[in-house]
Chains A and B, each alone.
Chain A
C-alpha cells in the first residue's frame, strides 16, 4: 500500500502541491504505525491517533497554497479516524467522505488520472455502503 502513496507523492511533487507531498509521507508513516499495532493484535492508542490528527491539522496551515489545501488533510483525518475506530459502517462512511475530498484535491492539483482512481474508490465505497449498511447483505 505504501507504493501507491510513493507514486502519489511523486505526482504531488511534480505538480508543486506541497501539502500532498507532506501528506503522502505522513500516510506512509501512519500506515506503518497502524500495521505495527495490527501485527501485535492491538488498536493504536488514543494519543497516537490524536498525534496523527494534530499533525494533519498543522499541515494545511504550514503548506497553504489555496483553499484546496484543506481537502487533502481533511480526507486523511477522516480515513485515519475511520480506520482507528471499531464500527465498520463508520469506516465505510468516513472512507466515502475522504475519497470525495481526494477527488477534489487531485483535480485541483491537475492530477486527472489520480482523480479517476479516487473516483473509483468513491464508487466502491458507495457500493459497500448500499450492500452492507442499507441492504444488510453479507
Chain B
C-alpha cells in the first residue's frame, strides 16, 4: 500500500510538472508544442504502418528540434 502511495505521489509530481510547464508557455510556444505533438503522431504512424526505418528517423529529427527548443528555453546550457 505504501509503494502505491509513493508511486501515486511520484506520478502526481510528474503530471504537475508537465501541467506547470505547459501553463508557463507563451501562446506561440504552446502552438509549437502542439505542432510537434502532431508531427510525433504522424511519424509514429509512419513507423508503425508504412516504414519503421523512415518513421524512426523522422522521430529522431523531432527529438533534435525539441533539444534545440530546450537550449533556447534555458538560460544556460551545460
Contact = CB atoms under 8 A, between A and B. Distances in A.
B78 A3 contact: no
A29 B14 contact: yes
A92 to B, nearest CB: 6
The listed residue with most A CB atoms (<10 A of its CB), out of B56, B62, B63, is B63
Given A14-B44, A112-B57, A113-B60, A121 B67 contact: yes
A54 interface: no
Interface in A80-138: 91-92, 95, 110-117, 120-121, 124-125, 128
Interface in B26-78: 33, 36-37, 40, 44, 47-48, 52-53, 55-64, 66-67, 70, 77-78
A124 B74 CA distance: 15
B13 A33 contact: yes
A3 B60 contact: no
A3 B10 contact: no
Given A91-B78, A120-B64, A14 B14 contact: no
Given A2-B18, A14-B47, A128-B77, A33 B63 contact: no
Interface of A: 1-4, 6-8, 10-11, 14-15, 28-29, 31-33, 35-36, 91-92, 95, 110-117, 120-121, 124-125, 128
